[in-house]
A = this chain, B = another copy of it.
Amino acid sequence: MTIVIADDHPFTLQGTQSFVESYGYQVIATCANGVSALNMIQLRTPDIAILDINMPALDGLDVAKKVQELKLKTKVILLTMHNEMTIYNKSKEYGVYGYILKEHAQVELKNCLSEVAKGNQYASGSLLNDLKSVRETGTGELDKLTFSERKIIELIAQQKTSKQIAEMLFLSEKTIEGHRSNIIEKLGLPKEKNILLKWAMKNGLE
């Protein structure tokens, strides 16, 4: 089984490599960014590519997308610092085989590798717990909103005022204000000034 690893932090790259090799897997290349990782994957089509999500220029998710588009047989495993629901959803969309938080990476990656080696998809247990808690408190709440409400909260996240949103959607400012109140109530947010702006920015809807 051949493996390519990409991470922009040299230490993490080296650490990941030596860890993977300590379990007897063969690392055929390491890359410091997404572009060279993609090149290497196209050139050598390894069995597995372990990619950091946060890389300059082309990130791990972009590479996963490209791998899918190019119909390469390489299975992608993503490593990430942050457990964000949106990234997790996208990664499923791009046919990623594994998604691992760096915090509990040691055990996870070992299990993940052996599962992926068998051809199975892998979603780590602790990851699911983490994501569950994220869903309960955070971005997953968006499901409760209607279509127009979601459209509006996106514009709020883009720093638009009610007046601007009203103009863009050809509606009255008062209508937008009404929607705002409904959104706040549905999300169970506290009664504060700019609470929607804060929420939208915190939940990375930009």
Residues of A within 8 A of B (CB): 8-16, 18-19, 79, 81, 102-106, 159, 161, 192-194, 197-198, 201-202
With A15-B16, A15-B18 known as contacts, the answer to whether A10 contacts B201 (CB < 8 A) is no
Q: Nearest chain-B residue to A22 (Cβ)?
A: B14
Of B11, B16, B192, the contact of A19 (CB 8 Å cutoff): B11
Question: Which residues on the B side are within 8 Å of A15 (C-beta)?
Answer: 10-16, 18
The prevalent SS among residues of A at the interface is helix
Q: Nearest chain-B residue to A17 (Cβ)?
A: B15
Q: Nearest chain-B residue to A104 (Cβ)?
A: B10
Question: Which residues on the B side are within 8 Å of A192 (C-beta)?
Answer: 159
Say whether A11 contacts B105, CB under 8 Å. yes
